[in-house]
Structures are given as C-alpha cells and as structure tokens.
Amino acid sequence: MITKWPSPGKLNLFLHIIGRRSDGYHNLQTLFQLLDYGDTLSIKSNQSGEIILLKSLPGVVYEKNLIVRAAKLLRDQAKLYGKLPDLAGATLKIKKRLPIGGGLGGGSSNAATVLVALNYLWNINFSVERLAALGLQLGADVPVFIYGLSSFSAGIGELLTPIVLSNKWYLVIYPNVGINTFQIFNDPNLTRNTPYRQIRDLLLGESHNDCEIVARSHCNEIEQLISWVKPHARPHLTGTGSCVFAEFSTKLLAFQVLSLVPKRWAGFIARGINLSPLYNITVPRFEKKVK
C-alpha cells in the first residue's frame, strides 16, 4: 500500500550567527516557524531490499539525495540493532513544491519525513530522540522537522525549545534562483559575532538575519526582490536561502500583495503552524517533548 506523507516548509523568523566553531560549523540562534505548505512524499514499503527513488530531482545525484540517504541511514541502523530484516526496502516518490535553495528547509524536511514514515511503516519503533539524532547526521535543520514543533533553536540548530507562535499569514516569494548554504556560511563578510541573547529578549526585541547582507551581495535578484517588497510590507530573508517573506495579519492582505508580484518570480501564501501535520499520522510516536 502506498501512503502519502506531508513534508512541511519552514521560515527562519530571525537568524543570528553567534560564532564559528573549530569544526567549521556555526553557533546560532534562530526561530523556526513551521508552515502549512510543503512537499508530499509517497512511500511504499516492500521486501525488495532496495531503496528506490522515482523521478529524482534534476541535478541531484541519487547517492547524495537526502531522501535516499535518510532511508538508507534508518535501514542500516535498524538492521544493526536487529529491528529490520535484510529484505526490507521502500519505493519513494516526491511531489515537490518547496524550491531548492530557497531557505524553506525542503531537503531537511524531506529527510525528516522519510525517517518518521519508514520508522512507522517498517515498525522499527525508534524514539523521536533517536530519530532526531539520526537526522542531525544528515543536516542541522532535520531535527526540528522530526520533532515537528515550531521552535527556538541554538547550537548548530540541534538545541530546540518549542515555541507557541501566533498563526500569522506569510507571503513567500522565490526569485527563481537558489542560494548555496556552503557559500553563505563560508563568505568572509558574514557577520559571526552577534551577541547571544535570551529567548524572551529575542521574541520581544528587534531581530534580523545575519545572512541577508551576504545573500544580497551574492544575488542581485534577491536585492531586487527585497526592494520590491518594501513598499508593501517588511521583507525578511529566510535561512541561508533566496526566498523572501513578509508577515500579514490576514489572508486577504497577503493575497492582495501576491496578486501584484511580478511574473518573473514565484510566490505563495502560507499560514504559520505550531504542530507539524506529521502528528496527524503518527501521534503515538511523538508523545515525548523536546528537551
């Protein structure tokens, strides 16, 4: 039986770079807002012993695809602990709506959905903490999608504190160009010394995205997009990607601005949510709280 699994997007409502670690990673403070908009994964478990990905994304090599890597990582760990037979396999297919390189967490969310779904379909019963630890091997943003809660994040992104946010409406615009995260984090002009602040101060005070200036310097299209949004609402860059978003109190206001977006860009409206739609499928698997 083929099952369909949601893979929601996210926004970084702010992103502060606190410092660079000796291992090359960056310590940060960010606020993840989950969205009611994302990709959909169709997953069928089988006894082929293979991980099959149908219609791989253009330019993404099979072995490096996060969806495939997540499935293989979970399979290998489960076999290591005697929780899965050798012939366990799966066929995966994705309906993509989140743009690659847009900063909406599409790849990380896809990997998290695969881990959660196959943990359920293969009846492995790994805890959410264990899945999150596996997800961290794939990317710093994967755990937040596994826990499935809008969260404040620290460290390299793995230290999560759930936050209940108001369900605002967001206009998200993709300038049809992606940004490479590696390039942003390795740019010598990236601010890496934003002072550490308490969560309460960050929520009540001014915040920003330290990656925005660098991203704008890398991509003139982002510069043009931010300039276009400014007369209508306050623009924000999400994560290290190219998508720009603006917050609205009502869906109507968001759609009014969306109707004005130039045709060379792609936009959509999404509402912020505090609980991932994955919970609707695997509630018993997600009873523990983020610590």
Q: Do 71 and 92 form a contact (C-beta atoms < 8 A)? A: yes
pLDDT at 291: 41
CATH code for the domain in which residue 176 is found: 3.30.230.10
Q: Which of 39, 55, 76, 141 is catalytic?
A: 141
Whether the pLDDT of residue 59 is over 90: the answer is no
Region of poorest pLDDT, from 20-24, 172-176, 249-253: 20-24
Q: Is 291 a catalytic residue?
A: no
Judge residue 233's burial from the number of C-beta atoms within 10 Å of its C-beta, 0-12 exposed, 13-18 middle, 19 or more buried. Answer: middle
- CA angle, 273 as apex, 204 and 252 as ends, to 5°? 90
At 56, is the pLDDT very low, low, confident or very high (cuts 50, 70, 90)?
confident
Annotated binding site: 99-109
- Number of domains into which the chain is organized: 1
pLDDT at 280: 72
pLDDT at 24: 84
- Could you tell me the two tokens for 233? 């609402």
Residues 245, 109: Cα–Cα separation, whole Å: 19
Q: Is 263 a catalytic residue?
A: no
Q: What percent of the chain has pLDDT over 90?
A: 84
What are 218-246's pLDDT values in tens digits? 999 999 999 999 999 999 999 999 999 99
At 206, is the pLDDT very low, low, confident or very high (cuts 50, 70, 90)?
confident
pLDDT at 290: 45
Whether the pLDDT of residue 283 is over 60: the answer is no
What are 125-174's pLDDT values in tens digits? 999 999 999 999 999 999 999 999 999 999 998 899 999 999 999 999 99
Q: From the CB of residue 176, how many other CB atoms can be counted at a distance below 10 Å? A: 13
User: In whole angstroms, what separates CA 145 from the centre of its chain?
Assistant: 7
Average pLDDT, rounded, for the chain: 93
Annotated binding site for ATP: 99-109
Whether the pLDDT of residue 289 is over 80: the answer is no
Consecutive H or E run containing 170:
strand 169-174
- Look at residue 257 and give its three-state secondary structure: helix
Q: Which of 10, 76, 95, 291 is catalytic?
A: 10
Q: Cα dihedral sign for 234, 239, 240, 242?
A: negative
Q: Supply the range of the domain harboring residue 257.
A: 1-291
Q: Phi, psi (5° rounding) for residue 288?
A: -80, 150
pLDDT at 232: 97
Q: Do 6 and 244 form a contact (C-beta atoms < 8 A)? A: no
At 282, is the pLDDT very low, low, confident or very high (cuts 50, 70, 90)?
low
